[in-house]
Amino acid sequence: MKRLSSVFVVCLALCILCTLFGACQNAPAGNSSSTSSPSQTTSSGSTPSSSGEKETYHVAMIAPLSGSSMQYGESLRTAMEIKLEEVNNGDYSFLLACDFYDDKNEATEAVTLANKIVAQSDILACFGPFSSTCAIAAGPVFQKAGMLLCSPTSSHEDFTSIGDYMVRGSTLQETMQYFTAKFVYEDLGLQTAAFLAGNDDVGNAIIQYFSQTFEELGGEVLSADTYVKGSTKDFTPMLSKLTANQPELLYLYGTYGDVASIITQARQLDIRSQLLSNGGAMTQELLQIAGEDAEGMIFYTTYDPNYPNPALEAFKEAFEAKTGRSIDSHATSTYDLISIFVEKLSEVGPDREKLKTAMRNFDSYEGLFGTYSMENGDITGGHFPVIVENGQFVSYSV
């Protein structure tokens, strides 16, 4: 009886040991996956190796993935996905994954998502939001948490003033409008201008900084009208006021849908002013909506479709293969800013404080459009005039 009891005890011990061993074998090696919710999806660009040879680092992106600004969000997301594929299928010592969050281009939603993101200790940095308004709203959340917020497209000066965890991939409006005004006055030879701009942070900054330089050069701003972006459909009351004085330049700012509607309605009223806009509306969708009315329109932007760089051509091909449409300035700014982050991550490792220092200030990075530098989170790079010719965006030759 005692012998049977001893055998039973030995068998029971072996069963317990086998169970414990199996549990250890099946335990996760680390937190390298994320759950998804209706406002969040995850992408790594490839399937991470199960060998555990490379560690997976995590970033997040806030962008408008639904709603009226969805097209812009898709540009940001696609640029991120292309870079993830390059990293995860390349010779980097790590893998990179991104959680995507949809803010619908609404400031309150951006703040809500920011709080969700900073609560996750494995996320090194967040990219986005798309608009300056959303980026400025979400910025304080990231600053308080000590997490980098890298907005590829926020150009309002207040964004990087929030704190030392803010980084932008788009030239400041003050700088951009200085060069835009000089181009209009000196290269185009135009001396009178009028504005029709969306009433938001960027629209007001464009009016302020362009007017300041344009008038200092000797130009005259005849009028500056604003409208509610995304909801104003009839622009004829504002445009009708321009038929009497016919400004030499009509500067438009808004979504591509807004600007396309203004173009069409302006031509119907026989307004023949030179049309100008920034890179925000420079999309294939605008050309499809406005058609021939957009011929001869000029965009002053950080994107040159004919810039001679093999890396730009490769990005164009990858973007068009994924989306079926041409790249835009939002996609290129996003790709460049993520590429800078990947380089700094390779240099300093997954340390938020070191990444902040590396991202906020550097002298030289070779991007899609030449050499960039960063000072206190504000990027400096090229800016180019682009004109619509035969239904295509092409480099403007002075």
Write out pLDDT tens, residues 81-101. 999 999 999 999 999 999 999
Structure tokens at 297: 């329109």
**Does the structure show a pLDDT above 60 at 24?**
no
- pTM score > 0.75 for this model? yes
Which pairing describes strands 220-227 and 378-380: parallel, antiparallel, or unpaired? Answer: unpaired
Determine contact, residues 280/253, Cβ cutoff 8 Å.
yes
- What is the band of 50 on the pLDDT scale with cuts at 50, 70, 90? very low
Please, what is the end-to-end C-alpha distance for the chain in angstroms?
104
The angle at the Cα of 379, spanning 378 to 382, to the nearest 5 degrees, equals 145
132 Cβ neighbours under 8 A, 6+ residues apart: 151, 153, 154, 155, 156, 158, 159, 200, 201, 202
Query: Mean of the per-residue pLDDT values for the chain?
Result: 88
Report how far residue 310's alpha carbon sits from residue 319's, in angstroms, rounded to the nearest whole number.
Answer: 14
Question: What per-residue confidence (pLDDT) applies to 39?
Answer: 56
Report how far residue 215's alpha carbon sits from residue 213's, in angstroms, rounded to the nearest whole number.
Answer: 5
Determine contact, residues 315/335, Cβ cutoff 8 Å.
yes
Domains of the chain: 40-47+55-171+309-382 (3.40.50.2300), 174-301 (3.40.50.2300)
Single out the residue of 52, 54, 49, 62 nearest to residue 153, CA to CA: 62
Q: On the CB side of 224, how many CA atoms lie within 13 Å of its CA?
A: 13
Write out pLDDT tens, residues 132-147. 999 999 999 999 999 9
Q: At what angle do helices 107-118 and 132-145 cross, to 10 degrees?
A: 20
Q: Element (H or E) spanning 367, and its range? A: strand 362-367
- What is the band of 280 on the pLDDT scale with cuts at 50, 70, 90? confident
